[in-house]
Every structure is written in structure tokens, then in C-alpha cells.
């Protein structure tokens, strides 16, 4: 029997990696639908290549362009995830949710009831809306797997363990492209160097987040939500080679380090294929990297944005959405040459400390729409502040 799947964000790096794995394995997989925001040409090409009969293009202009370009009348094109009832006649076996940003919130939420298993690569869903998603996952008995390399590594190790047996979780960070650059020289660094991550292939926005270390602040929030563990039990360790992805410290004195090559294809592979299948290429243990792990403590002086962790409320709130919105807007300003690199962390911390934003620490998110609306409001305010 064919495994029935869907990929939300199939034209991005995660989606393309998953499709390449499916093509390589030549498994009995039927892709029920593919979805993208704007990349309609790539989406149509993927649909033809993998014999997919349904695609969703959320950007209305690109949706219209796709209708004009589509010569294969067997491919049905939809403009909204409200059309899922027309596409899915019975529960899917697997969904990869890999839309980036707040745009991924609603599709992730909507697809849960239509699938037995969902792999979530959309950070914002887990950071901003985890209690809402968790309730939906429980309601429809949908299995969840995190895709991010650090969280997948932790999940794969502790899924059958009692969380009370864990003393601490250590997430690793490469340190980004500025690890060996002195703080005084940061504004002299060309943006092309900041966007050139030393170990991962990343988009522009996430590359800047890696350089400031804001991505690790978000990953701490994700880990706290996914594994239901306090912030005090989560730590960040610098590991330049990105070969070790997480370290689990147990109460009984044991430490377990999860290694894998620096590729997202390994976590992705393990979310969709069974335990009995072999990942190809099945690379050997890298002794050179093992002998040069170079673990080190993170420097708050070098990465001042880590001070944001002191502002986080113990319980989930709308404040996490504030942080996502603030960071998105400030980083966008940097990428558009409106501010210097050294201003990014300072501005994020200043905005997060504003009284009008701090009040959201006591407000619990009730719906996906509430989060999306707050994101729009905050982005508008921050843009005005920056001007």
C-alpha cells in the first residue's frame, strides 16, 4: 500500500531535500498535494516530476499566474488551505510542514486533523502557538516529530524516557560566521560574510539570526515547549563543526551525545522512513571531527541578544510572538541596509523591554488568528520606531 503524504513548503530547502530522498528511495509514496507561497513555476515542475495532482499556491498573484501557465489540466490548483476538504478524501499518512515564518502557522494548524503524522520545520508554529497545536495534535491523535536538527536529535533520544530522569539538555551552536571576529569589528564586516554560514546552507534571515545567536534563543523556547522542560534545564554550548547536535545529561550521571553529518537530510529521512530503512549515503564516523569537538561556553558579551532569555515568562504567552515579530522586523531592516549589524541585538532587547510589549507576558494565546494579528501590529510599530 502506498504511503500518502503532502509537503507544505515543497519548493524550499526542506521540501526539496525531502523530494530528493523520496526520488532516491523509489518507495511506494503517493504525494497527494504540494504547497508553496510564491514559487509557482518550481511547484508546477515538482508536480509534473512526481505526478502530483493537487497544488496550493497561497500568494494570489502567483496563483493566477500558475493558472495561466498550467498546461496540464490534470493538475488542480488551489489558492487556500481552506480547500483541503476538496483535496483530501481520507487521512494522510505523513505531512511535512516547512513554510517559513508566521505564514506557516495557519497551514500547520489546519493540516493536523488530516494526517496521522506531522513533521514540523516551521519554528514559529512551535514558538508562538505550541499550546494550540498540542491541543489539536491530541484531539486528532496526530503524531508530531520536530525537524530541526537539534530538536530531532533530542526527540530521537528521549522519546521513550521519563523527562524527570533528565538533568539538563545541551543544544549546540556553531557560533555562526562571526565566532572568531572581535566585537569591535562587527560593523566592519561585509554583509556577504555574515550571510555565509560556516557549516550550514541557510537563507538570509536565518543566517543573520545565527550570527546574532537569536536562532538559539528561539530554539531554547522550542525545546522548552516540545519537551515540557524548564528553561533552567536547557543550555547552549558552542561547537563550531556542527557535528554534535545535542547532549543529554541524565540524573544518573550519564551523558549522551547525538552526532550526525551536517545535513538536514538525516532528520528529514528519519521523520518519514521506517527504522528498518538505511540512510544512503550511510557515512562512517568522522574521527577528525570527534577528536576536535572544541566545545566552549557561549559568551554573552559576544552574543548580547542571549540576554533575551532573562525576559521570558515561565509559562507560555503572547510575548513569544512579540519576540518573533520584533526580530523579523529588525533583521529585515538590517538586510535592507537601514541599520548596522551591531544595532540588531541592542534594538531587539530594547523593544522587548518596552512596557507596551512586556504586558503580553501575562496574555495566553487563544487562537492562531490572534497570533497572526498581533504579529502584524508589532511589525508595523517596530517599522515606525526604526524610521
pLDDT, tens digit (0-9, with 9 covering 90-100), for 181-230: 877 677 778 888 888 888 888 889 999 999 999 999 999 999 999 999 99
- Please tell me the distance from the alpha carbon of residue 45 to that of residue 47, in angstroms, as a whole number: 5
Least confident of 30-39, 113-122, 240-249, 283-292: 283-292
Residue 114's closest CA among 93, 134, 135, 83?
Answer: 93
Please report whether residue 65 resides in a domain. Answer: yes
Please report whether residue 349 resides in a domain. Answer: no
CATH number at residue 136: 3.40.50.720
49 or 282, greater pLDDT: 49
- The values of phi and psi at residue 51, to 5°, are 55, 50
The answer to whether the predicted template modeling score (pTM) of the entire model surpasses 0.85 is: yes
Cell numbers given for 384:
515606525
Please report whether residue 275 resides in a domain. Answer: no
Other CB atoms within a 10 A radius of the CB of residue 248 amount to: 20
Range of the domain at 39: 3-147
pLDDT of residue 26: 65
Q: How confident is the model over 97-108, as pLDDT tens digits?
A: 999 999 999 999
Residue range 354-379: average pLDDT? 96
pLDDT of residue 185: 72
Cell numbers given for 377:
501590529
Please report whether residue 175 resides in a domain. Answer: no
Mention every residue, 6+ apart, whose C-beta is less than 8 A from residue 290: 243, 259
User: Any idea how long the chain is?
Assistant: 387
Q: Is the pLDDT of residue 134 over 90?
A: yes
Other CB atoms within a 10 A radius of the CB of residue 272 amount to: 22
Residue range 245-257: average pLDDT? 95
Residue 122's closest CA among 95, 98, 153?
Answer: 98
pLDDT of residue 282: 67
Mention every residue, 6+ apart, whose C-beta is less than 8 A from residue 132: 109, 365, 366, 367, 368
Please report whether residue 111 resides in a domain. Answer: yes
Q: How confident is the model over 160-178, as pLDDT tens digits?
A: 777 889 999 999 999 988 8
Residue range 136-160: average pLDDT? 94
Q: How confident is the model over 27-41, as pLDDT tens digits?
A: 689 999 999 999 999
Please report whether residue 108 resides in a domain. Answer: yes
- Please tell me the distance from the alpha carbon of residue 120 to that of residue 127, in angstroms, as a whole number: 12
Cell numbers given for 57:
499556491
Number of domains in the chain: 1
- Please tell me the distance from the alpha carbon of residue 304 to that of residue 345, in angstroms, as a whole number: 6
Please report whether residue 211 resides in a domain. Answer: no
Name the pairing type of β-strands 94-97 and 3-8: parallel
Please report whether residue 122 resides in a domain. Answer: yes
Mention every residue, 6+ apart, whose C-beta is less than 8 A from residue 288: none
For residue 241, with 0-12 CB atoms within 10 Å meaning exposed, 13-18 middle and 19 or more buried, which class applies? Answer: middle
- Please tell me the distance from the alpha carbon of residue 371 to that of residue 368, in angstroms, as a whole number: 5
Residue 283 CA, distance from chain mean position? 25
Q: Where are the alpha helices (DSSP H) in 56-148?
A: 60-69, 84-87, 105-111, 123-139
Residue range 300-304: average pLDDT? 92
Amino acid at each position: 500500500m502506498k504511503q500518502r503524504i503532502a509537503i507544505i513548503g515543497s519548493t524550499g530547502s526542506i521540501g526539496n531535500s525531502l523530494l530528493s530522498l523520496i526520488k532516491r528511495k523509489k518507495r511506494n509514496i503517493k504525494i497527494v498535494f504540494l504547497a508553496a507561497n510564491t514559487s509557482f513555476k518550481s511547484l508546477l515542475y515538482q508536480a509534473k516530476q512526481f505526478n502530483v495532482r493537487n497544488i496550493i499556491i497561497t500568494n494570489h498573484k502567483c496563483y493566477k499566474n500558475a493558472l495561466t501557465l498550467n498546461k496540464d489540466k490534470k493538475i488542480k490548483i488551489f489558492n487556500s488551505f481552506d480547500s483541503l476538504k476538496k483535496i483530501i478524501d481520507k487521512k494522510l499518512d505523513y505531512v511535512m510542514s516547512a513554510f517559513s515564518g508566521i505564514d506557516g502557522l495557519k497551514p500547520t494548524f489546519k493540516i493536523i486533523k488530516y494526517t496521522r503524522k506531522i513533521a514540523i520545520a516551521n519554528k514559529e508554529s512551535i514558538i508562538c502557538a505550541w499550546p494550540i497545536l498540542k491541543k489539536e495534535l491530541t484531539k486528532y491523535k496526530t503524531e508530531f516529530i520536530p525537524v530541526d536538527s537539534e530538536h530531532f536529535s533530542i526527540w530521537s533520544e528521549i522519546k521513550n524516557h521519563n523527562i524527570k530522569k533528565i538533568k539538563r539538555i545541551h543544544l549546540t551552536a556553531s557560533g555562526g560566521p562571526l565566532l572568531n571576529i572581535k566585537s569591535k569589528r562587527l560593523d566592519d564586516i561585509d554583509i556577504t560574510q555574515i550571510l555565509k554560514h560556516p557549516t550550514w546552507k541557510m537563507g538570509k534571515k536565518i543566517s543573520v539570526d545565527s550570527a546574532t545567536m537569536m536562532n538559539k534563543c528561539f530554539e531554547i523556547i522550542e525545546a522548552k515547549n516540545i519537551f515540557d522542560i524548564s528553561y533552567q534545564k536547557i543550555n547552549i554550548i558552542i561547537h563550531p563543526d556542527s557535528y554534535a547536535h545535542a547532549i543529554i545529561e541524565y540524573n544518573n550521571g550519564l551523558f549522551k551525545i547525538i552526532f550526525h553529518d551536517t545535513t538536514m537530510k538525516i532528520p528529514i529521512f528519519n521523520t518519514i522512513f521506517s527504522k528498518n530503512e538505511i540512510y544512503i549515503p550511510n557515512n562512517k564516523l568522522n574521527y577528525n571531527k570527534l577528536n576536535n569537538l572544541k566545545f566552549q561556553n557561549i559568551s554573552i558579551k559576544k552574543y548580547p541578544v542571549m540576554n533575551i532569555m532573562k525576559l521570558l515568562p515561565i509559562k507560555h504567552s503572547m510575548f513569544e510572538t512579540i519576540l518573533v515579530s520584533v526580530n523579523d522586523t529588525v533583521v529585515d531592516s538590517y538586510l535592507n541596509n537601514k541599520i548596522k549589524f551591531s544595532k540588531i541585538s541592542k534594538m531587539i532587547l530594547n523593544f522587548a523591554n518596552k512596557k507596551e510589549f512586556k504586558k503580553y507576558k501575562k496574555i495566553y494565546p487563544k487562537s492562531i488568528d490572534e497570533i497572526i494579528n498581533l504579529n502584524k501590529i508589532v511589525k508595523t510599530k517596530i517599522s515606525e520606531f526604526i524610521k
